[in-house]
Amino acid sequence: MRGGRRRGDRIFKFVTIGAAAYTLLMLGLILYAVGNGSALIFHFEGFKFFTSTDWNPVEGRESFGALPYIIGTLISSAVALAIGVPISLGIAIFLTEMSSGKILSKLSGPLAFVIELLAAVPSIIYGLWALFVFRFFILNYIEMPLYNAFGQSIPFFGVTPFGLDWFTAGIVLAIMIIPIVSSICREVMKAVPDTQREAAYSLGATRWETVRMAIFPYAKSGILGAAMMGLGRAIGETMLVTLVIGNAIGAAAIPTSLFSPSQTLSSLIANEFNEASSDLQQSALIGLGAVLLMLTMAILIVARLMVSRMVKVSPGFRE
Protein backbone atom coordinates (compact mmCIF):
# COMPACT_ATOMS: atom_id res chain seq x y z
CA MET A 1 0.00 0.00 0.00
CA ARG A 2 2.70 2.48 1.01
CA GLY A 3 4.87 1.33 -1.84
CA GLY A 4 2.06 1.80 -4.34
CA ARG A 5 1.38 5.29 -3.10
CA ARG A 6 5.01 6.21 -3.34
CA ARG A 7 5.15 4.80 -6.86
CA GLY A 8 2.11 6.87 -7.82
CA ASP A 9 3.80 10.01 -6.53
CA ARG A 10 6.98 9.17 -8.35
CA ILE A 11 5.14 8.58 -11.63
CA PHE A 12 3.32 11.89 -11.22
CA LYS A 13 6.59 13.65 -10.54
CA PHE A 14 8.20 12.09 -13.60
CA VAL A 15 5.31 13.17 -15.79
CA THR A 16 5.72 16.78 -14.63
CA ILE A 17 9.49 16.60 -15.10
CA GLY A 18 8.83 15.33 -18.60
CA ALA A 19 6.61 18.33 -19.32
CA ALA A 20 9.25 20.69 -17.97
CA ALA A 21 11.93 18.99 -20.03
CA TYR A 22 9.71 19.48 -23.08
CA THR A 23 10.48 23.20 -22.88
CA LEU A 24 14.20 22.53 -23.13
CA LEU A 25 13.55 19.95 -25.85
CA MET A 26 11.66 22.56 -27.88
CA LEU A 27 14.47 25.05 -27.51
CA GLY A 28 16.90 22.37 -28.63
CA LEU A 29 14.65 21.58 -31.58
CA ILE A 30 14.49 25.27 -32.52
CA LEU A 31 18.28 25.59 -32.51
CA TYR A 32 18.67 22.30 -34.40
CA ALA A 33 16.01 23.02 -37.03
CA VAL A 34 17.18 26.55 -37.74
CA GLY A 35 20.83 25.48 -37.76
CA ASN A 36 20.17 22.49 -39.97
CA GLY A 37 17.91 24.40 -42.33
CA SER A 38 20.40 27.20 -42.82
CA ALA A 39 23.50 24.98 -43.09
CA LEU A 40 23.28 25.00 -46.89
CA ILE A 41 23.37 28.79 -47.23
CA PHE A 42 26.16 29.25 -44.69
CA HIS A 43 28.15 26.63 -46.57
CA PHE A 44 27.43 28.40 -49.85
CA GLU A 45 27.96 32.02 -48.81
CA GLY A 46 30.08 31.67 -45.68
CA PHE A 47 30.53 34.83 -43.67
CA LYS A 48 29.57 36.88 -46.74
CA PHE A 49 25.95 36.07 -45.89
CA PHE A 50 26.14 38.71 -43.15
CA THR A 51 27.86 41.39 -45.21
CA SER A 52 26.50 40.98 -48.73
CA THR A 53 23.64 43.09 -50.05
CA ASP A 54 22.72 40.83 -52.99
CA TRP A 55 19.50 38.89 -53.12
CA ASN A 56 19.40 36.99 -56.37
CA PRO A 57 17.50 33.69 -56.61
CA VAL A 58 17.97 33.33 -60.39
CA GLU A 59 19.41 29.92 -61.16
CA GLY A 60 23.12 29.96 -61.90
CA ARG A 61 23.55 33.46 -60.51
CA GLU A 62 22.43 32.84 -56.95
CA SER A 63 23.74 35.21 -54.35
CA PHE A 64 22.20 35.92 -50.98
CA GLY A 65 23.10 38.46 -48.31
CA ALA A 66 21.29 39.40 -45.11
CA LEU A 67 22.80 42.83 -44.45
CA PRO A 68 19.98 45.03 -45.84
CA TYR A 69 17.38 43.18 -43.80
CA ILE A 70 19.45 43.30 -40.63
CA ILE A 71 19.66 47.07 -41.11
CA GLY A 72 15.95 47.31 -41.91
CA THR A 73 15.06 45.32 -38.80
CA LEU A 74 17.28 47.39 -36.52
CA ILE A 75 16.22 50.82 -37.76
CA SER A 76 12.49 50.12 -37.81
CA SER A 77 12.71 48.70 -34.29
CA ALA A 78 14.76 51.70 -33.20
CA VAL A 79 12.01 54.03 -34.43
CA ALA A 80 9.46 51.87 -32.63
CA LEU A 81 11.36 52.09 -29.34
CA ALA A 82 12.19 55.77 -29.65
CA ILE A 83 8.51 56.61 -30.09
CA GLY A 84 6.82 53.80 -28.21
CA VAL A 85 8.72 53.79 -24.92
CA PRO A 86 8.39 57.51 -24.03
CA ILE A 87 4.67 57.41 -24.87
CA SER A 88 4.24 54.27 -22.78
CA LEU A 89 6.04 55.93 -19.89
CA GLY A 90 3.78 58.95 -20.28
CA ILE A 91 0.72 56.71 -20.07
CA ALA A 92 2.12 54.92 -17.02
CA ILE A 93 2.89 58.25 -15.31
CA PHE A 94 -0.62 59.44 -16.06
CA LEU A 95 -2.23 56.29 -14.76
CA THR A 96 -0.18 55.88 -11.59
CA GLU A 97 0.87 59.40 -10.57
CA MET A 98 -1.62 61.87 -12.01
CA SER A 99 -4.96 60.20 -11.52
CA SER A 100 -5.73 61.85 -8.19
CA GLY A 101 -8.15 64.52 -9.42
CA LYS A 102 -11.90 64.08 -9.49
CA ILE A 103 -12.26 63.46 -13.23
CA LEU A 104 -8.94 61.74 -13.71
CA SER A 105 -9.49 59.13 -11.03
CA LYS A 106 -12.69 58.07 -12.77
CA LEU A 107 -10.89 57.98 -16.10
CA SER A 108 -7.82 55.98 -15.21
CA GLY A 109 -9.54 52.68 -14.41
CA PRO A 110 -11.37 52.23 -17.73
CA LEU A 111 -8.35 53.61 -19.58
CA ALA A 112 -6.02 51.01 -18.10
CA PHE A 113 -8.62 48.35 -18.91
CA VAL A 114 -8.93 49.37 -22.56
CA ILE A 115 -5.17 49.61 -23.02
CA GLU A 116 -4.66 46.15 -21.54
CA LEU A 117 -7.39 44.78 -23.74
CA LEU A 118 -5.67 46.22 -26.78
CA ALA A 119 -2.56 44.22 -25.98
CA ALA A 120 -4.61 41.23 -27.14
CA VAL A 121 -5.42 42.61 -30.61
CA PRO A 122 -3.59 40.45 -33.16
CA SER A 123 -0.80 42.18 -35.06
CA ILE A 124 -2.32 41.32 -38.44
CA ILE A 125 -5.16 43.70 -37.52
CA TYR A 126 -2.69 46.46 -36.70
CA GLY A 127 -1.23 45.71 -40.12
CA LEU A 128 -4.57 45.90 -41.91
CA TRP A 129 -5.35 49.22 -40.25
CA ALA A 130 -1.88 50.54 -41.02
CA LEU A 131 -2.14 49.60 -44.70
CA PHE A 132 -5.61 51.00 -45.39
CA VAL A 133 -5.97 53.83 -42.87
CA PHE A 134 -2.89 55.01 -41.00
CA ARG A 135 -0.61 54.97 -44.03
CA PHE A 136 -2.56 57.79 -45.67
CA PHE A 137 -2.56 59.82 -42.49
CA ILE A 138 1.22 59.57 -42.26
CA LEU A 139 1.63 60.27 -45.96
CA ASN A 140 -0.59 63.35 -46.03
CA TYR A 141 0.22 64.95 -42.70
CA ILE A 142 3.81 64.01 -41.93
CA GLU A 143 5.68 62.74 -44.95
CA MET A 144 4.41 65.06 -47.70
CA PRO A 145 4.90 68.26 -45.65
CA LEU A 146 8.43 67.15 -44.71
CA TYR A 147 9.19 66.22 -48.30
CA ASN A 148 7.82 69.49 -49.66
CA ALA A 149 9.75 71.54 -47.12
CA PHE A 150 13.11 69.77 -47.10
CA GLY A 151 13.03 67.28 -50.00
CA GLN A 152 15.17 69.47 -52.27
CA SER A 153 17.76 70.50 -49.73
CA ILE A 154 18.25 67.56 -47.36
CA PRO A 155 18.85 64.11 -48.92
CA PHE A 156 17.45 62.45 -45.79
CA PHE A 157 13.98 63.62 -46.89
CA GLY A 158 14.76 63.26 -50.57
CA VAL A 159 12.71 60.28 -51.75
CA THR A 160 9.12 60.79 -52.89
CA PRO A 161 7.06 59.27 -50.06
CA PHE A 162 4.29 56.72 -50.62
CA GLY A 163 3.55 55.95 -46.99
CA LEU A 164 5.01 52.46 -47.38
CA ASP A 165 8.46 52.73 -45.86
CA TRP A 166 10.53 51.94 -42.77
CA PHE A 167 9.43 55.15 -41.05
CA THR A 168 5.75 54.15 -41.29
CA ALA A 169 6.62 50.60 -40.20
CA GLY A 170 8.48 51.97 -37.18
CA ILE A 171 5.60 54.20 -36.11
CA VAL A 172 3.03 51.42 -36.45
CA LEU A 173 5.33 49.09 -34.51
CA ALA A 174 5.47 51.77 -31.82
CA ILE A 175 1.68 51.87 -31.67
CA MET A 176 1.62 48.08 -31.49
CA ILE A 177 4.01 47.88 -28.54
CA ILE A 178 2.42 50.73 -26.56
CA PRO A 179 -0.29 48.58 -24.88
CA ILE A 180 2.08 45.94 -23.57
CA VAL A 181 4.95 48.25 -22.65
CA SER A 182 2.69 50.75 -20.90
CA SER A 183 0.86 47.98 -19.02
CA ILE A 184 4.13 46.62 -17.67
CA CYS A 185 5.45 50.09 -16.80
CA ARG A 186 2.22 50.83 -14.99
CA GLU A 187 2.40 47.61 -12.96
CA VAL A 188 6.02 48.28 -12.11
CA MET A 189 5.39 51.87 -11.06
CA LYS A 190 2.32 50.89 -9.10
CA ALA A 191 4.47 48.45 -7.14
CA VAL A 192 6.71 51.30 -5.91
CA PRO A 193 5.85 51.80 -2.23
CA ASP A 194 4.02 55.02 -1.35
CA THR A 195 6.70 55.89 1.19
CA GLN A 196 8.97 56.69 -1.78
CA ARG A 197 6.44 59.21 -3.08
CA GLU A 198 5.68 60.66 0.36
CA ALA A 199 9.35 61.17 1.08
CA ALA A 200 9.89 63.06 -2.16
CA TYR A 201 6.76 65.20 -1.86
CA SER A 202 7.55 66.06 1.75
CA LEU A 203 10.90 67.47 0.59
CA GLY A 204 8.99 69.82 -1.68
CA ALA A 205 9.59 67.92 -4.92
CA THR A 206 7.24 68.55 -7.81
CA ARG A 207 5.42 65.62 -9.37
CA TRP A 208 7.97 65.21 -12.13
CA GLU A 209 10.83 65.38 -9.65
CA THR A 210 9.11 62.72 -7.57
CA VAL A 211 8.76 60.50 -10.62
CA ARG A 212 12.33 61.16 -11.74
CA MET A 213 14.07 60.84 -8.38
CA ALA A 214 11.89 58.57 -6.27
CA ILE A 215 10.01 56.33 -8.68
CA PHE A 216 12.19 55.79 -11.76
CA PRO A 217 15.23 54.61 -9.78
CA TYR A 218 13.04 52.19 -7.88
CA ALA A 219 11.26 50.88 -10.97
CA LYS A 220 14.31 51.09 -13.26
CA SER A 221 14.82 47.40 -13.88
CA GLY A 222 11.14 46.77 -14.54
CA ILE A 223 10.94 49.64 -17.01
CA LEU A 224 14.09 48.39 -18.70
CA GLY A 225 12.54 44.94 -18.90
CA ALA A 226 9.40 46.44 -20.45
CA ALA A 227 11.46 48.27 -23.06
CA MET A 228 13.40 45.11 -23.84
CA MET A 229 10.16 43.20 -24.22
CA GLY A 230 8.92 45.88 -26.61
CA LEU A 231 12.18 45.66 -28.54
CA GLY A 232 11.89 41.88 -28.77
CA ARG A 233 8.36 42.23 -30.12
CA ALA A 234 9.27 44.91 -32.62
CA ILE A 235 12.24 42.95 -33.96
CA GLY A 236 10.29 39.73 -34.38
CA GLU A 237 7.06 41.26 -35.68
CA THR A 238 6.23 39.99 -39.13
CA MET A 239 2.78 40.58 -40.56
CA LEU A 240 2.37 44.24 -39.78
CA VAL A 241 5.80 45.03 -41.19
CA THR A 242 5.20 42.95 -44.32
CA LEU A 243 2.14 45.03 -45.10
CA VAL A 244 3.62 48.52 -44.68
CA ILE A 245 7.39 48.49 -45.14
CA GLY A 246 7.32 48.52 -48.93
CA ASN A 247 9.13 45.20 -49.37
CA ALA A 248 12.29 46.35 -51.13
CA ILE A 249 14.82 43.67 -51.99
CA GLY A 250 18.61 43.59 -52.12
CA ALA A 251 20.68 46.77 -51.89
CA ALA A 252 17.51 48.83 -52.45
CA ALA A 253 16.31 47.70 -49.02
CA ILE A 254 19.04 49.77 -47.37
CA PRO A 255 17.26 53.07 -46.79
CA THR A 256 18.78 56.19 -48.29
CA SER A 257 16.03 58.41 -46.94
CA LEU A 258 13.41 58.52 -44.24
CA PHE A 259 10.84 57.59 -46.88
CA SER A 260 12.68 54.66 -48.51
CA PRO A 261 10.93 51.32 -48.71
CA SER A 262 12.88 48.69 -46.81
CA GLN A 263 12.55 45.13 -45.60
CA THR A 264 13.09 43.29 -42.32
CA LEU A 265 14.37 39.78 -41.71
CA SER A 266 10.95 38.47 -40.77
CA SER A 267 9.02 40.26 -43.52
CA LEU A 268 11.25 38.83 -46.25
CA ILE A 269 10.80 35.33 -44.81
CA ALA A 270 7.02 35.76 -44.81
CA ASN A 271 7.01 37.13 -48.37
CA GLU A 272 9.21 34.55 -50.04
CA PHE A 273 9.08 31.36 -48.00
CA ASN A 274 6.32 29.64 -49.95
CA GLU A 275 7.49 31.00 -53.29
CA ALA A 276 11.13 29.98 -52.87
CA SER A 277 12.27 28.56 -56.21
CA SER A 278 15.21 26.51 -54.96
CA ASP A 279 16.49 24.75 -51.87
CA LEU A 280 19.25 27.33 -51.71
CA GLN A 281 16.78 30.23 -51.57
CA GLN A 282 14.76 28.47 -48.90
CA SER A 283 17.93 27.83 -46.93
CA ALA A 284 18.82 31.52 -47.30
CA LEU A 285 15.42 32.43 -45.84
CA ILE A 286 15.97 30.04 -42.93
CA GLY A 287 19.39 31.70 -42.61
CA LEU A 288 17.58 35.02 -42.13
CA GLY A 289 15.56 33.23 -39.44
CA ALA A 290 18.83 32.14 -37.82
CA VAL A 291 20.05 35.76 -37.73
CA LEU A 292 16.71 36.84 -36.27
CA LEU A 293 16.90 34.06 -33.69
CA MET A 294 20.41 35.09 -32.62
CA LEU A 295 19.37 38.74 -32.41
CA THR A 296 16.31 38.12 -30.23
CA MET A 297 17.99 35.49 -28.06
CA ALA A 298 20.82 37.90 -27.33
CA ILE A 299 18.34 40.62 -26.36
CA LEU A 300 16.20 38.27 -24.27
CA ILE A 301 19.13 36.75 -22.42
CA VAL A 302 20.72 40.12 -21.68
CA ALA A 303 17.33 41.48 -20.54
CA ARG A 304 16.64 38.47 -18.37
CA LEU A 305 20.08 38.55 -16.74
CA MET A 306 19.95 42.29 -16.20
CA VAL A 307 16.47 42.28 -14.73
CA SER A 308 16.81 39.24 -12.49
CA ARG A 309 20.06 40.60 -11.09
CA MET A 310 18.32 43.74 -9.93
CA VAL A 311 14.98 42.37 -8.77
CA LYS A 312 13.77 38.87 -8.22
CA VAL A 313 10.59 39.35 -10.22
CA SER A 314 10.31 38.73 -13.91
CA PRO A 315 8.96 41.74 -15.80
CA GLY A 316 5.42 41.77 -17.05
CA PHE A 317 3.97 39.12 -14.85
CA ARG A 318 3.54 40.91 -11.58
CA GLU A 319 0.28 40.63 -9.78
State which of positions 166-185 bind other proteins (CB under 8 A). 175, 178-180, 182-184
What is the closest distance, in whole angstroms, from the C-beta atom of residue 153 to other proteins in the complex?
Answer: 29
- Residue numbers 140-159 binding other proteins by CB under 8 A: none
Give the angle subtended at the CA of 262 by the CAs of 260 and 124, to the nearest 5°. Answer: 120
> What is the distance between the alpha carbons of residues 120 and 132, in angstroms, rounded to a whole number?
21
49, 55, 64, 126: which one contacts other proteins (CB under 8 A)? Answer: 126
- Residue numbers 190-229 binding other proteins by CB under 8 A: 206-209, 211, 229
Binding string, 10-29, against other proteins, x = CB under 8 A?
Answer: --xx-xxxxxxxxxx-xx-x
Nearer to other proteins, 151 or 232 (CB): 232
Near other proteins by CB under 8 A, which window of 31-39, 151-159, 160-168, 190-198? Answer: 31-39
Nearer to other proteins, 19 or 153 (CB): 19
Tell me the site size for other proteins, rule CB under 8 A: 96
At residue 261, what are phi and psi to the nearest 5 degrees?
-65, 150
100, 195, 202, 274: which one contacts other proteins (CB under 8 A)? Answer: 274
Nearer to other proteins, 257 or 282 (CB): 282
Nearer to other proteins, 159 or 293 (CB): 293
What is the closest distance, in whole angstroms, from the C-beta atom of residue 158 to other proteins in the complex?
Answer: 28
- Residue numbers 58-117 binding other proteins by CB under 8 A: 86-91, 93-94, 98, 111, 113-117
> What is the distance between the alpha carbons of residues 128 and 14, in angstroms, rounded to a whole number?
46
Question: Amino acid identity, residue 177?
Answer: I
| 243 binding other proteins? (CB under 8 A) | yes
- Residue numbers 291-310 binding other proteins by CB under 8 A: 292-293, 296-297, 299-301, 304
What is the closest distance, in whole angstroms, from the C-beta atom of residue 94 to other proteins in the complex?
Answer: 4
